[in-house]
Amino acid sequence: MKIAIVFGGSSYEHEISIVSAIAMKDVIKSELEYIFLDENREFYHIPTKTIKSKLFSTGEYKKCDKLNIKKGGFSKKAMFGEKNVEFDIVLNLIHGGDGEDGTVASLFEFFDIKYIGPRVGACSVSFNKFLTKGYASSLGIKTIPYKYFTKFDEISVDEFPVIVKPVTLGSSIGVSIVKTKEELSYALDVAFEFDNAVLIETFVPNIKEYNLAGYKIGNEIKYSIIEEPQKADFLDFDKKYLDFARTERVSVANISDELKEKLKKAFATIYNTTFNDAMIRCDFFVIDDEVYLNEINPIPGSMANYLFEDFDASIKELSKSLRLKDKIKISYDYVNKIQAAKGK
């Protein structure tokens, strides 16, 4: 099997996507093709043997072959016409905008490109934290109390501490813990640099957090191990950035079987049919033995490979189980009836 990894994108998480993509060389045993989407939304074919982060920071990637997206895949100029980039499936590894907001998913759907990743509807409910809250609530999954504000609203907070989050960013970009009223203005300025709306959530100190990834084969969820991140109350961007390069396994959380089942049940409820054909990670909080959803990562850092016993086998299993999209047959029966009725 040959897997094409599409990464980069016009996103605040562009660099994180590069780190995640390079990490895949150490965990996927299949042959890889690297397709880079730059900030100008141009596709480039990056040689697998020579891919490294400096290639992108220096702009050297522009010396690589530029690609065109087409029905069924990608192609590049050749001596006689064009040459297709050969692969069996695409792995969408663009974090944030373009990858998780549905832009690239729409492209892949439009051009009939087989891919692993969240579909457009899944992107809608997971990219926007406000919509994620509503989605979870509709499924009976608890979330931390919050308020939603746009940059044009009059914003006030009655009780501190709180967490200020841009609505459509991940990787802790623009996120601040606010302990006093005096700190709020600065935190909002930071968040509004990245987004036009924010969530302000109640901050719960020393909260228990657990990460669980998975995917669906048929009607069965295949779960990763459950991880309890070893970290401070708040993991900032720099710490998370380094974390995206993880390829080594992590330790299984030391929790009761009852709590494991609660977390798995919450994950399955969230995954539903909405996230079919994607490998996602859910980050949960546990308060007084009750499970709360923190966020949905539809394209988690390094695909959460470190949570799976055999990530390579998992990717292959998912790639062979993707649903085929129903083809709509256009018959023109309605138009023909109108024409017949008019005698034309």
| CATH value at residue 306 | 3.30.470.20
Residue 81 sits in the same domain as residue 53: yes
* Residues above pLDDT 90, as percent of the chain: 84
Cβ pair 262, 291 in contact under 8 A: yes
Q: What is the pLDDT of residue 245?
A: 55
Q: Point out the domain boundary residue: 165, 182, 202.
A: 202
- Per this entry, what is the length of the chain? 344
Residue 196 sits in the same domain as residue 219: no
pLDDT mean over 155-160: 92
Q: Residue 340 in 3-state DSSP?
A: helix
Residue that has been written with the tokens 């016009």 in this structure? 10
Query: Residue 169: which CATH number?
Result: 3.30.1490.20
Residue at 102 is within a domain: yes
161: preceding bond cis by omega (within 30 degrees): yes
Q: Residue 136 in 3-state DSSP?
A: helix
Helical (H) or strand (E) element with 81: strand 81-84
Residue 128 sits in the same domain as residue 269: yes
pLDDT mean over 302-316: 96
Residue at 269 is within a domain: yes
Q: What is the pLDDT of residues 210-267, one digit of tens each?
A: 999 999 999 999 999 999 987 654 545 455 545 555 556 788 999 999 999 999 999 9
What is the domain range of residue 82? 2-117
Residue at 278 is within a domain: yes
* Residues above pLDDT 70, as percent of the chain: 94
Residue 312 sits in the same domain as residue 223: yes
Count of the separate structural domains present in the chain: 3
* Poorest-pLDDT segment among 107-111, 179-183, 200-204, 339-343: 339-343
Tokens read off for 49: 């043997």
Could you tell me which residues are beta bridge partners of residue 45?
Answer: 35, 65
Cβ pair 4, 30 in contact under 8 A: no
What is the side-by-side strand order in the sheet with 197-202?
146-150, 197-202, 162-166, 176-178
Query: Residue 79: which CATH number?
Result: 3.40.50.20
How far, in Å, CA of 308 to CA of 250, rounded?
9
Tokens read off for 194: 């990245």
pLDDT mean over 57-86: 96
Q: What is the pLDDT of residue 340?
A: 87
Residue 103 sits in the same domain as residue 182: no
Residue at 87 is within a domain: yes
Q: Point out the domain boundary residue: 202, 218, 239.
A: 202
What is the side-by-side strand order in the sheet with 290-297?
142-143, 290-297, 280-287, 208-217, 220-227
How many C-alpha atoms does 228 have within 13 Å on its Cβ side? 11
* Poorest-pLDDT segment among 114-118, 169-173, 198-202: 169-173
Apex CA 303: angle with CA 207 and CA 56, to 5°?
A: 115
Residue 164 sits in the same domain as residue 261: no
Residue 46 sits in the same domain as residue 157: no
How far, in Å, CA of 291 to CA of 209, rounded?
10
Residue 189 sits in the same domain as residue 55: no
Q: Is pLDDT above 90 for 174?
A: no
Residue 278 sits in the same domain as residue 253: yes
Residue at 288 is within a domain: yes
Q: What is the pLDDT of residue 324?
A: 78
Residue 160 sits in the same domain as residue 57: no
Q: Is pLDDT above 90 for 171?
A: no
Residue at 343 is within a domain: no
Closest CA to 28 of 318, 314, 312: 312
Q: What is the pLDDT of residues 106-135, one digit of tens each?
A: 999 999 999 999 999 999 999 999 999 999
Q: What is the pLDDT of residue 230?
A: 75
Residue 193 sits in the same domain as residue 221: no
Give me the DSSP letters along 211-243.
EEEEEEETTEEEEEEEE-----S---HHHHHHH
How far, in Å, CA of 36 to CA of 336, rounded?
46
Residue at 235 is within a domain: yes
Q: Is pLDDT above 50 for 73?
A: yes
Residue at 32 is within a domain: yes
Average pLDDT for the chain: 92
Q: What is the pLDDT of residue 170?
A: 74
How far, in Å, CA of 130 to CA of 48, rounded?
38
How far, in Å, CA of 24 to CA of 116, rounded?
14
Q: 46: how many CB neighbours lie within 10 A of its CB?
A: 25
Confidence band of 288 (pLDDT split at 50, 70, 90): very high
Q: What is the pLDDT of residue 165?
A: 95
User: What residue spans of the chain are helical by DSSP H?
Assistant: 14-23, 54-57, 103-110, 120-127, 129-138, 181-192, 237-243, 257-271, 311-319, 333-342
What residues have CB less than 8 Å from 337, skipping those under 6 apart?
Answer: none
Residue 134 sits in the same domain as residue 250: yes
Backbone phi and psi for residue 171, each to the nearest 5 degrees, phi listed first = 60, 25
Confidence band of 142 (pLDDT split at 50, 70, 90): very high
Q: What is the pLDDT of residue 231?
A: 62
Q: What is the pLDDT of residue 241?
A: 47
